[in-house]
Amino acid sequence: MGDSPRFALFEMQTFTSADIAGMELLARVQFATSLPGAKPISLIGTTDRDGQTNLAPFSSVVHLGSSPCLLGMISRPDLVERHTLANLTEMRAWTINHLHPEILDAAHQCSAKYPKDVSEFDATGLTIHNHPGFPAPFVQESRFRIGLELEDVIPIPINGTRLIVGRVVLVQVAEEFLMPHGGIDLVGLECLASTALDTYFKLQPLARLSHSKPDAITRRL
Ligand SMILES: Cc1cc2nc3c(=O)[nH]c(=O)nc-3n(C[C@H](O)[C@H](O)[C@H](O)COP(=O)(O)O)c2cc1C
């Protein structure tokens, strides 16, 4: 009898780029947006120079560096009005407001295409939290909020999207969620993750592992 496999193995189906291109539009969007796996989901808060506020859920926020502390996110092409992109370009600032289950439905509603003169704060009942001297609105109900200044907008010519690069200038979170090793307790905060444009997850802790080195076996901390 041969050794039984160490891991569960599945019969794989292979999709080529031609298969993906041939998918019906909505199925292709669902398929393509599932490819990176679960992603963070947060509400991006912006305003224009007349004080017209805006909120939109974004799942493309990514860590770009710790020194300086940089975050990036991807904006869809501006073939139609993109209020988040226009506002943060104008004011050079935006906020990231992490979600928890109680505000998920309101946050999802913010992805609807409201006209520019309708604030998603008013449309959903979420509350504006202003920080003195910072030009973009935070979501008061969010438990973990970040303020950023615009560093760069990098065009991605192949599809007209843009990588927006921001420098973290403010972080707001209750002290009880700061962990002794320096991390932030995303599980305690009940932060959410997402795939596609309609599927949301809670986080479940699995492990913290030791720093890996060629001459030492990974340990669970
Ligand atoms: C779960 C989810 C994730 C999304 N992620 C992004 C994203 O990363 N980038 C983006 O440009 N739009 C994303 N969207 C779409 C925007 O939220 C949507 O286009 C919104 O209407 C933009 O509003 P605005 O024009 O006020 O900026 C996402 C929508 C949902 C529901």
In terms of Cβ atoms closer than 10 Å to its own Cβ (0-12, 13-18, 19+), residue 213 is exposed
Which pLDDT does position 4 carry in this prediction?
64
Region of residue 98 (phi > 0: left; psi between -120 and 50: alpha; otherwise: beta): beta
Which pLDDT does position 1 carry in this prediction?
45
Which atom of ligand 1 is the closest one to the Cα of 200?
Answer: 1
Residue identifier of the C-alpha nearest atom 16 of ligand 1:
111
Residue 131 three-state SS? coil
Which pLDDT does position 176 carry in this prediction?
98
Identify the DSSP state of 177: G
For residues 120 and 110, is the Cβ–Cβ distance under 8 A? yes
Contacts of 152 (CB under 8 A, 6+ apart): 163, 164, 165
Distance of CA 183 to the CA centre of its chain: 18
Best residue among 52, 111, 195, 201 to mutate for probing ligand 1, ranked by most atoms within 8 Å of CB: 111
Per-residue pLDDT of the chain (221 residues; tens, 9 = 90+): 456 668 889 999 999 999 999 999 999 999 999 999 999 999 999 999 999 999 999 999 999 999 999 999 999 998 999 999 999 999 999 999 999 999 999 999 999 999 999 999 999 999 999 999 999 999 999 999 999 999 999 999 999 999 999 999 999 999 999 999 999 999 999 999 999 899 999 999 999 999 999 999 999 99
Identify the DSSP state of 214: T
Best residue among 53, 59, 109, 192 to mutate for probing ligand 1, ranked by most atoms within 8 Å of CB: 59
